[in-house]
Amino acid sequence: MSTDSPTEDATADPSVAKLQEQIDELREDLAAVKNDDEQKRMTIIATKGSLDMAYPPLILASTAAAFGWDVVVFHTFWGLDILHEEKSQNLKLSAVGNPNMPMPNALAALPGMDSMATKMMQKKIDENGTATIEELIDLSLDSGVDLQACQMTIELMDYDEDDFYDGVTTGVGAATALQHMAEADIQLLV
């Protein structure tokens, strides 16, 4: 009668040891899949390219990425201006139709009021040390946010893909955005 335990005999057998190694690998793979399933996913559709509408998708995206979420921001139509290096430096704030502006719409509609409102907002941003659009784009990209530029809109607006910030994903269509939205825990339209 052998004094070896069944476990010792099993590990001594090369085929059993190989099987045990495969089982261990499968357990690791399963653990990784379970961890991936726990990762939250968020899709934001950015459709507006004004100064006040550039901040929400970038702040939400970079914050969610800091929590470890898988985040995609799909920029389409005027939202594409946020990712355009030159245009993003000159985003304006619209004074007309903004109920929180400290002036009535009749005054907001006067020539030059959008420029004045933009300067007021830029001053507040500077005084408060709020991140710029460029800084938020860099932060988002560094955090793993997938900033996507709608290919149809690039073509429609006759943009050159080289004009976007480095790291922006181009060549993305609505079908890709919809697929991510279908799998996302949170979907936002900004």
Residue range 129-153: mean pLDDT, rounded: 95
Instruction: Write down the pLDDT at residue 103.
Output: 66
The residue that leads in pLDDT, 148 or 107, is 148
For 155-188, the pLDDT digits (tens) are 999 999 999 999 999 999 999 999 999 999 999 9
Among 186, 148, 158, 170, which residue's Cα sits nearest to residue 47?
Answer: 148
Residue range 67-92: mean pLDDT, rounded: 94
Taking 80 as the threshold, does the pLDDT of residue 105 lie above it? no
Instruction: Write down the pLDDT at residue 146.
Output: 97
Q: Which residues, at least 6 apart from 67, have a Cβ–Cβ distance to it below 8 Å?
A: 40
Instruction: Write down the pLDDT at residue 113.
Output: 73
Taking 60 as the threshold, does the pLDDT of residue 11 lie above it? no
Instruction: Write down the pLDDT at residue 102.
Output: 66
Taking 90 as the threshold, does the pLDDT of residue 29 lie above it? no
